[in-house]
Structure 1
Amino acid sequence: MKWQNALKDYQLYLRIERGLSQNSIDSYSRDVNKLTDFLEENKIVITPITITSEHLQKFIYEAAKNVNARSQSRIISGLRSFFNYLVFEDYRKTNPLELIESPKIGRKLPDTLSEDEIDKLINAIDLSKPEGERNRAILETLYGCGLRVSELITLKLSDLFFDEGFIKVTGKGDKQRFVPIVNTTQKYINIYRNEIRKHINIQAGFEDTLFLNRRGKQLTRAMIFTIIKQLAEKIGLKKSISPHTFRHSFATHLLQNNADLRSIQLMLGHESITTTEIYVHLDKSHLAKIVEEFHPRKQKP
């Protein structure tokens, strides 16, 4: 079995059987391609069926020289998934990464913005330009609904159920969920729709896409990153932020205001509550206040 044939079969499995998004498939594929590049550079002729733990140890040792522990762990996890697939399909008897441990890494806490910082970013938008109203609606939607950037750029007019107070979001693996949308966010989306979007010459195929560029097509992920980066520079914000920072801030601020984790999990579209639990670690002072207020053994005056 050749590496590229095995990789194509694996990609098909990830798409059809595991229902992963193209971004996730690309990420898993990069891990396998890094391994095959290493084998080629070192003139090691071996197949996915015959490669051993020793070969993989050498690759991981070399990879560790150029990446941090978190990236190294990610590569090992990606390759372990690839070889698990080969075992699952009976191409191999064992996974050569079974005895290879990932480096110990601390749990990375996501960066967040304060409410004041979010207000400053939004207030820095130049509303005298047509794209200003669009950009304000974009930031309000990212923060107001906790969307991933991929979910934001694919949001459709037909996904808006404002009378019911919800939007329909298509997340990872094309899984759909309904997310509440507050009146403020609805207001800014409606301003953009009624005053800006309807004057755009919309290209065929994008008639239902909510947020459009000046050419009447869907915005790219890179464009959302650029909008946010430029606003951060404009207000002199020292934090390194991205569209995902608004999602983290959405979850953190909900938790700080006593929302329960299960509700936050559903709104974020996390498969596992474990993923959502990372937000519990963000504000220890908030958790201390919760115990003081609600624990039956709290100290009484």
Structure 2
Amino acid sequence: MNDFYKYNNYLLKQNMKDSSIYLYIYYLRKFLKWYEEVIKIPFKTLEKNIVKKYIKNISSNISESYINNYINFFKSYNNFLISEGIQKEMVIDNSLKVKMSKAKVNKNNYVNEKYIENLLQKICSIDGIKNYTMLNLIAYSGLRAAEVTELTLEDLDFDERVINITGSYTRKVPMNSNVESCLKLYLKEIYTMEDYLFINERGTKYTDTGLRWILRKNCPDDNITITTLRDFYKLKLKEQGYTLKEIDELLGYTTKHKSYLDKSLKEMLTPSEFAKIFNVAPITVIKWCNKGLIKAYRTDKGFRKIPPSEVKKLQAVR
């Protein structure tokens, strides 16, 4: 435990971000546990062949970028051991890194519900109810990472079953049964009266970078990001019948200057365009609409749009 504390202080002196420090300490714990179980001798110093063996052991479950992250960690830990007088020279270098292949861009940032549920359950069992709850709020309430970190107990309204988001994206987000149950469990088992709902090991609120690190350390798939979880929530809203405008409002996007016409509505005729075909005034077309002689639809701003098929129908009766 003392070595972890010393290494943590060493990283702080290197001006590393909190998220990177958490990650390196996590890597160290995993490596030392593996060393104890596989090498079966007390750890003293880093050896290049042992590090190679460890990387080979974990490489089947992690991406290329993860491997290179591990190498960066081992270089850092090597430097720490030298600074402590435990190791005499650098044995870890960039030759251990793998060449990154060009990642294919996944334009459809979608994963199925079963994958998300399994991922969150894994985080719950391995990483605890707090980290599970924070990521659950993103996947099942669509909150931004920064919005999760700013939450307070007063923002939760269990009577109305909503989460009150304040700040730049003020809104009320529905609290479904999944979110409600994990929040209540977290409040019962973990939460202590603090200024913010979620407090890290340092006694301060989490950062959005910290949440990304929690997801990354539990999910080896580089394609799964905080945005993926928000897209998952967006997809679930579509399946439940929410309109695009309603979805944007729940996600905290601006809707002021955005058109929500679907493709079929865009292809329809305005009353003026319809009037020109029959050489009448637009007000006449509006009267036809009111009488039910022609079918018309309304845009989200209340304007009439008439399907092109109504032209042939009206021509047939005139």
TM-score range, shorter chain: 0.3 to 0.5
Larger Rg: 2
Q: TM-score, normalised by structure 2?
A: 0.45
